Chains A and B, each alone.
Chain A
Amino acid sequence: ELKVEQNPLFLSMQEGKNYTIYCNYSTTSDRLYWYRQDPGKSLESLFVLLSNGAVKQEGRLMASLDTKARLSTLHITAAVHDLSATYFCAVDIYGNNRLAFGKGNQVVVIP
């Protein structure tokens, strides 16, 4: 069964601290996406990871991909309130750019 699992599903973060959220997937794929969604809004693209060992950083967010472990991580450095959102990972598991999404990591950053 095809699965994309994210954890933790909910994470309360303290401002200024570092956190990591995880995305595991069940079948082979060499393309993984991270998106951000604010309440009532659509998805904003954060990262596209295309190969094993890929690491990308943008501001306080850094994403990495380990295709052998079928694991991607999204690391948040010195969390700030503006990073409160739900983060989805998606994997091209089905092929032809058809993506399977995880359930999302809901992040709330508190002062």
Chain B
Amino acid sequence: GAVVSQHPSWVICKSGTSVKIECRSLDFQATTMFWYRQFPKQSLMLMATSNEGSKATYEQGVEKDKFLINHASLTLSTLTVTSAHPEDSSFYICSAFAVRETGAYEQYFGPGTRLTVT
């Protein structure tokens, strides 16, 4: 089935620095990917839609200048957390849609990246 990978799986950074998280679709092309964040023991919140070759679309309340998204190719989207602060510490998960062998259109999630800002 479709596989989505993320790198790194875990990162610690100091407050004020920037961190880049990569999301790759390994065996399919994804013109659209999605970025979510999840706080401990809470639900997933959609942050933005990453569109290949165009600007990302951000959900209401998400700062586009703080969370920079670049969808450089059909298999790679990156999320850069700029000037990170402790409140940005979270679990970031990307996803992409693909068509299964059955023909069903389904969303596949990456393994997630745990960001800790000290």
Contacts and interface: CB of A to CB of B under 8 A. Distances in A.
A41 B107 contact: no
A43 B114 CA distance: 14
A97 B111 contact: no
Interface residues of B, number: 21
Nearest to B45: A101
Contacts of A35: 109
Given A96-B49, A97-B32, A97-B34, A45 B106 contact: yes
Given A48-B106, A97-B34, A98-B49, A41 B43 contact: no
A45 B107 contact: yes
Chain B interface main SS type: strand
A100 B46 CA distance: 7
Interface string B90-118: 00010001000000111111111010000
User: Which of B106, B107, B108 counts the most A-chain CB atoms under 10 A from its CB?
Assistant: B107
- The bracket for how many chain A residues form the interface is 20 to 34
B62 interface: no
Contacts of A45: 106-109
Given A48-B106, A97-B34, A97-B107, A104 B43 contact: yes
Contact of B93 (A42, A44, A90, A102): A42
A32 B107 CA distance: 11
B54 interface: no
**Taking each of B32, B46, B59, B93, which has the highest tally of chain A beta carbons within 10 Å of its own beta carbon?**
B46
A103 interface: yes
Contacts of A99: 34, 46, 107
Nearest to A104: B43
Interface of B: 32, 34, 42-46, 49, 59, 93, 97, 104-112, 114
